[in-house]
Amino acid sequence: MSEVFILVSLAVLALIVFIAVAAAGVAIWTNRRLRADPDFAVLQEKRPEGYWMGIGVALGVALGLPLGLAINAAMGDAGSGMAIGPAMGVAIGVAIGTALEQRHKGETRPLTSYEKHARRWTTWVGIAVLALLAAVAVIGVVEGLLQ
């Protein structure tokens, strides 16, 4: 194994740990803020805006991963299906989420200020993670070209 491969693997592992810790932190922070709200009972009655879209995307990605494995097996190529499957899953998930949002129209509530803050923070963490993954991909491509 090359040293670069080991370093990239460690970087990806560290990134996964960072994402898990950041997601848990945001969830705990938002949950504490929700419970401290005097209107907590009212907030629990309805789902926040975008809830059903998140459910749809999660279902789509869950469907896309096995789809990627099937494409990978059919093509006999190492990794191409795993790259295509989750992307197709996200597209399918957005369609499912849009249908669920329409089905539950009027049953959602607007986001509270701290939920908006948490979503904004999560978006920036996602952008940072995407930048790190892009950097890891570039390192992998450059290392592959140099061999």
- Cα of 49 vs its chain's centroid, Å: 17
Which pTM does this prediction carry? 0.61
The total number of structural domains that make up the chain: 2
Kindly state whether residues 106 and 119 are assigned to the same domain.
no
Q: What is the pLDDT of residue 97?
A: 92
Kindly state whether residues 106 and 133 are assigned to the same domain.
no
Closest residue by Cα to residue 108 from 28, 58, 60, 54: 54
The pLDDT confidence band at residue 1, using thresholds 50, 70 and 90, is low
Residue 11 covered by a domain: yes
Kindly state whether residues 80 and 103 are assigned to the same domain.
yes
Kindly state whether residues 74 and 118 are assigned to the same domain.
no
Residue 104 covered by a domain: yes
* Mean pLDDT confidence for 28-45: 74
pLDDT tens digit sequence for 124-137: 887 887 887 777 77
Residue 23 covered by a domain: yes
Residue 81 covered by a domain: yes
Domain extent, residue 135, equals 1-37+112-147
pLDDT tens digit sequence for 66-94: 888 888 788 776 666 777 888 888 899 99
